[in-house]
């Protein structure tokens, strides 16, 4: 069987080998005029240190936190390559980036290091080494008599003090300008930074800040804060000082900016247009109906639309048919199935990590998934859904331990997932093997529900955000009371557990392996088996401590300290005493309208599903140095999401009904390079599960595809099944399905690769599907009346048939010649024709093919259309080759073929050795196109 002809690849589609290349590229366009937004500088702002310490006569004492530590940072002393590294340098270590002021002060004044000597000031190594390139491994850092030298010397001279027990509070860092719009490539400007402290003081600290650019090709900034324009586009520069991280948008318009703002009715379109107007970018037009039905179906449900669904939508002339389709997709089972899979990714649903969470294996991930799917199908508000995870308890209200075990035993039985889905909470979230330490929970919790990566703060101050090591430690403490163990139960359930276990083991003492097998066998036979429970071990005051505090208060003496463990929510508010379940306070904080992350995190992730890139990208890295590409858009969507009671369908519908989402992927001169401002649809490879299911649906018969779409359980998008070593899992791995090792979005890959191309082109799974007796090719062959790929055709018989079909053409040609013969030759010629007809009739009868009587043919030779090798070999035809080509395009690309595509395909099928080979090649070629594998 040959299914890779070069001729067929002349179809308008592009083969897979090209779809892992770039989609963009163009020359920039000259920008129009731009402006710089610059706030007015207050007159009471202290001058920079370079002015105040220009000479050595200043009587001001530099502040350790405000001046000395930031200066050491600017000089590179506390960087990773110097004393800020984990092992230090030259026997001297500072905190990375200099945010542990107490530790740094202690290190500097340690006599063993010699860094500060208040008795012999100039012998202090903090002064001597940076002045001498030969003495200092880090090289010369400043000149003697420079303002930097004066600041550090003055600090040592005045006693090298750090008088504050706690770090001073920086209210805000004001960066001037707050937004930059360049007009030309050679433009430069100086960025200024002013620190505003809690005590009311303000000073310019530009020369103490660190600067970075998120895209040097658009805007480059040096150590002094000099900003230089590059190519057209937009990015952010970031200014760092103390615990402040301030992004500043910088843009250089691509084209002429409009004189008046663009007008749109949809709120998303309005906010997107505001940014595009600043950049002089003209958005692309609206996509076609063919593109929309495919795009929306795959994005909302993960399911390729059927050919009949596409026909019906394209034939519908209603002006609101797109809105109607969106509502139908959101109400369909596919929506809940696909988004339960996405939420499983974000919350870390992994059978591998849940291996010991339940006494019965290979069911936990399915229970987790079904719990999510039920709530999405019922459109439970997002905050309530997450509350069911965060504050989950094992038992239902009023349920005793035996009833709990009975319910869970039923849930773990085949087909019992709905029993678990109906329970209020989903405590499996806390039961993963890689989620047992408080630090792991803090990191995973931030990924799942905040879209924040805080793991850097586990060791040092977060380089791109405000989180300190202490913030991380305080946050981690909130998770210490949570205990999850397959063998632990609440006190009131211990006796029942022992009874259940004794029944299962028949009183015998079994090792772990034998015990697990016994429990499994008991559950399979319908016996109730014991389950572990999630416990929250809060610790309040003992009776003795409470009485001591009461006596002290009554006598007016010193009250003993509470001595209750506490933690803090990422630097928010007062510490939480761990004498009650901290998860309640965590959930209250999550759903609070003032929470800066919770609503934005899910809004950003949902947006990323529709556009292939988040408003913040990566979508789980919402840090101050990685600001949104369109902050007003993210703010407004999050605000309205909360106002609409965290309604996920409202969020999906709002995005999908916007022109921004429905834009074409066709580019214009201004938006050809835009990938972050949503001026066009950027083609992207479909997610792994969607790719695999699309292949299955495209190659399967109508009956098979209809069953998959209606039941969903066997589809990859309904991913609640443990990983198996089979063809499906191999394909999903190749296409980057989330491995769920952590809660990071980076566990999934949507990047194209050569291996994906090889799978679609040459994998045995693809060949099997194309030749499957239940596949579309075999169905198409039946409707064409020819032998399908699943039928064995004798090559000799095929050759005899082909020769017979050639003879029919000769017979028709001879009949047409008969009319022009002279009378004396007609009798002989007629006998010759009758002999040809008789011989051909015998051969056609062998293959059950019809042939008209000779007299009818003699009377009207054009009344019989000659059959060819593609016609009626296996029964009567119900469809033409043209119709099957149309069907193939609709079921794969969700559109009709154009005339050239139709002609190429029809000709190829008719020229194939056998029709099934041609149909297989056609379907193979369509599945191996860029148009099939990407969202367009």
State pLDDT tens for residues 153-193.
999 888 888 877 778 888 999 999 999 999 988 899 999 99
Reading phi first (left if > 0) and then psi (alpha if -120 to 50, else beta), residue 646 is in left
Reading phi first (left if > 0) and then psi (alpha if -120 to 50, else beta), residue 412 is in alpha
Mean pLDDT of 366-381: 96
Helix spans in 1-55 (H):
49-52
Distance (Å) of CA 429 to CA 327, 350, 365, 410, 586? 31, 10, 10, 20, 15
Please report which confidence band the pLDDT of residue 108 belongs to, taking 50, 70 and 90 as the band edges: confident
The more confident residue out of 115 and 266 is 266
- Start-to-end CA distance of the chain, whole Å, equals 32
Residues 6+ away with beta carbon under 8 Å from 35: 181
Looking at residue 85, what is its pLDDT? 62
pLDDT digits (tens, 9 = 90+) for 850-860: 788 888 777 78
Distance CA 191, CA 618 (A): 27
pLDDT digits (tens, 9 = 90+) for 688-704: 999 999 999 999 999 99
Looking at residue 859, what is its pLDDT? 78
Distance CA 472, CA 460 (A): 9
For residue 868, pLDDT over 70 is answered with no
Looking at residue 80, what is its pLDDT? 67
Distance (Å) of CA 771 to CA 8, 752, 862, 919? 18, 26, 37, 10
Pair 19, 930: CB distance under 8 Å: yes
Looking at residue 104, what is its pLDDT? 80
> Of 241-245, 834-838, 895-899, where does the model show the most confidence?
895-899
> Of 9-23, 370-384, 878-892, where does the model show the most confidence?
370-384
Distance CA 107, CA 160 (A): 12
- What share of the chain in percent tops pLDDT 70? 84
CA-CA-CA-CA torsion sign (522, 525, 528, 534) = positive
Looking at residue 867, what is its pLDDT? 59
For residue 550, pLDDT over 80 is answered with no
For residue 708, pLDDT over 70 is answered with yes
Looking at residue 87, what is its pLDDT? 67
Mean pLDDT of 598-617: 95
Block residue for tokens 């678990």: 420
For residue 504, pLDDT over 60 is answered with yes
Looking at residue 310, what is its pLDDT? 97
Distance CA 614, CA 619 (A): 5
- What share of the chain in percent tops pLDDT 90? 46
For residue 90, pLDDT over 80 is answered with no
| Kind and range of the H or E run holding 685 | strand 684-685
Contacts 24+ apart (CB under 8 A), 90-97: 90/137, 95/460, 95/461, 96/459, 96/460, 96/461, 96/463, 97/73, 97/460, 97/461, 97/463
Sequence ranges of the domains in the chain:
1-21+688-734+752-791+896-936, 64-157, 351-596, 795-863
For residue 24, pLDDT over 70 is answered with no
For residue 607, pLDDT over 70 is answered with yes
Q: Give CA 547 to chain center in angstroms.
A: 54
Rg value, the chain, Cα: 37
The more confident residue out of 576 and 342 is 342
Residues 6+ away with beta carbon under 8 Å from 820: none
Task: Supply the DSSP string of 138-159, one letter for each residue.
Answer: T---S-TTSHHHHHHHHHHHTT
Cis peptide before 443 (omega within 30 of 0): no
| pTM over the 0.85 mark | no
Q: Which of 254-258, 509-513, 725-729, 844-848 has the lowest mean pLDDT?
A: 725-729
For residue 37, pLDDT over 50 is answered with no
Q: Return the percent helix, strand and coil in the chain, to nearest 5.
A: 45, 10, 45
For residue 14, pLDDT over 70 is answered with no
Other Cβ atoms closer than 10 A to 2 = 10
Q: Report the candidate in 692, 749, 747, 750 with the shortest Cα–Cα distance to residue 346.
A: 747
For residue 428, pLDDT over 70 is answered with yes
């Amino acid at each position: 069987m040959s299914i890779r002809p070069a001729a067929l690849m002349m179809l308008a589609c592009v083969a897979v080998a090209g779809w892992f290349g770039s989609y963009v590229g163009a020359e920039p366009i000259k920008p129009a005029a731009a402006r710089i937004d610059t706030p007015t500088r207050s007159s009471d702002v202290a001058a920079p240190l370079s002015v105040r310490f220009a000479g050595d006569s200043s009587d001001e004492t530099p502040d350790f936190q405000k001046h000395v530590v930031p200066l050491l940072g600017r000089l590179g002393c506390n960087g990773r390559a110097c004393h800020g590294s984990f092992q230090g340098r030259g026997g001297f270590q500072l905190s990375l980036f200099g945010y542990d002021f107490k530790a740094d002060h202690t290190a500097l004044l340690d006599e063993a290091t010699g860094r500060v000597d208040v008795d012999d000031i100039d012998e202090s190594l903090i002064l001597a080494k940076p002045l001498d390139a030969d003495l200092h491994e880090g090289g010369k850092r400043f000149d003697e008599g420079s303002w930097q030298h004066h600041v550090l010397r003055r600090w040592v001279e005045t006693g090298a003090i750090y008088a504050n027990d706690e770090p001073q509070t920086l209210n805000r860092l004001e960066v001037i300008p707050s937004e930059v719009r360049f007009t030309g490539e050679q433009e430069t400007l100086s960025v200024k930074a002013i620190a505003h402290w809690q005590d009311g003081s303000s000073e310019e600290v530009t020369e103490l800040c660190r600067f970075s650019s998120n895209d040097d090709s658009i805007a480059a900034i040096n150590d002094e804060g000099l900003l230089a324009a590059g190519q057209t586009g937009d990015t952010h520069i970031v200014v760092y000082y103390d615990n402040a991280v301030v992004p500043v948008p910088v843009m250089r318009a691509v084209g002429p900016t409009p004189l008046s703002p663009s007008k749109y009715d949809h709120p998303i379109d309005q906010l997107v247009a505001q940014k595009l107007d600043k950049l002089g970018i003209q958005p692309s037009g609206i996509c076609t109906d063919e593109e929309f039905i495919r795009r929306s179906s795959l994005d909302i449900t993960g399911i390729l639309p059927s050919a009949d669904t596409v026909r019906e939508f394209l034939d519908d002339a209603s002006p609101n048919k797109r809105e109607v389709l969106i509502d139908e997709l959101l109400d369909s089972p596919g929506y809940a199935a696909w988004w339960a899979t996405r939420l499983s990714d974000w919350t870390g649903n992994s059978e591998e990590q849940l291996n010991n969470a339940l006494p019965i294996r290979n069911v936990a991930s399915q229970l987790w998934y079904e719990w999510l799917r039920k709530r999405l199908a019922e459109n439970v508000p997002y905050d309530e859904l997450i509350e069911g995870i965060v504050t989950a308890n094992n038992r239902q209200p009023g349920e005793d331990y035996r009833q709990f075990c009975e319910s869970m035993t039923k849930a773990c039985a085949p087909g019992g997932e709905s029993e678990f889905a109906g329970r209020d909470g989903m405590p499996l979230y806390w039961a993963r093997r890689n989620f047992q330490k408080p630090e792991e929970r803090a990191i995973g919790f931030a990924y799942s529900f905040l879209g924040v990566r805080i793991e850097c703060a586990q060791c040092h101050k977060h380089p791109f955000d405000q989180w300190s090591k202490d913030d991380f430690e305080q946050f981690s403490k909130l998770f210490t009371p949570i205990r999850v163990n397959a063998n632990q139960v609440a006190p009131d359930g211990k006796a029942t557990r022992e009874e259940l276990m004794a029944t299962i083991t028949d009183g015998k003492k079994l090792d772990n392996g034998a015990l697990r097998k016994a429990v499994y066998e008991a559950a399979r036979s319908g016996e109730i088996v014991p389950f572990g429970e999630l416990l929250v071990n809060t610790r309040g005051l003992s009776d003795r401590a409470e009485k001591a505090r009461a006596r002290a208060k009554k006598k007016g003496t010193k009250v003993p300290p509470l001595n209750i463990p506490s933690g803090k929510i990422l630097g928010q508010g007062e510490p939480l005493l761990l004498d009650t379940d901290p998860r309640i306070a965590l959930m209250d904080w999550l759903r609070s309208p003032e929470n800066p992350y919770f609503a934005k995190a899910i809004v950003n992730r949902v947006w990323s599903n529709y556009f292939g890139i988040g408003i913040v990208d990566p979508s789980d890295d919402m840090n101050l140095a990685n600001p949104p590409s369109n902050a007003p858009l993210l703010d407004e969507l999050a605000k309205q999401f909360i106002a609409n009671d965290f309604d996920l369908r409202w969020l999906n519908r709002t995005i999908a009904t916007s022109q921004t989402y429905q834009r074409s992927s066709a580019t214009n001169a201004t938006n050809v390079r835009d990938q972050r401002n949503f001026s066009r649809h950027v083609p992207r490879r479909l997610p792994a599960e969607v790719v695999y299911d699309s292949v299955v649906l495209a190659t399967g018969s109508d009956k098979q595809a209809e069953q998959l779409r209606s039941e969903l359980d066997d589809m990859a998008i309904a991913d609640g099944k443990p990983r198996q070593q089979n063809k499906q899992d191999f394909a999903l791995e190749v296409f980057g399905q989330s491995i769920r090792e952590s809660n990071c979005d980076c566990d999934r890959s949507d990047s194209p690769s050569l291996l994906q191309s090889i799978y679609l082109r040459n994998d045995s799974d693809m060949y099997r599907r194309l030749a499957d007796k239940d596949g579309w090719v075999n169905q198409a062959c039946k409707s064409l009346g020819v032998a399908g790929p699943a039928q064995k055709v004798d090559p000799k018989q095929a050759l005899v048939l082909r020769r017979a079909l050639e003879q029919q053409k000769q017979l028709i040609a001879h009949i047409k010649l008969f009319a022009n013969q002279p009378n004396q030759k007609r009798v002989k010629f007629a006998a010759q024709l009758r002999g040809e007809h008789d011989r051909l009739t015998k051969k056609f009868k062998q293959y059950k093919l019809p042939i008209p009587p000779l007299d009818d043919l003699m009377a009207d030779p054009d009344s019989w259309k000659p059959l060819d090798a593609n016609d009626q070999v296996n029964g009567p035809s119900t469809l033409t080759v043209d119709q099957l080509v149309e069907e193939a395009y609709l079921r794969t690309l969700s559109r009709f073929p154009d005339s050239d595509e139709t002609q190429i395909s029809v000709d190829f099928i008719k020229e194939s050795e056998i029709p099934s080979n041609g149909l297989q090649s056609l379907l193979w070629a369509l599945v191996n196109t860029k148009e099939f594998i990407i969202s367009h």
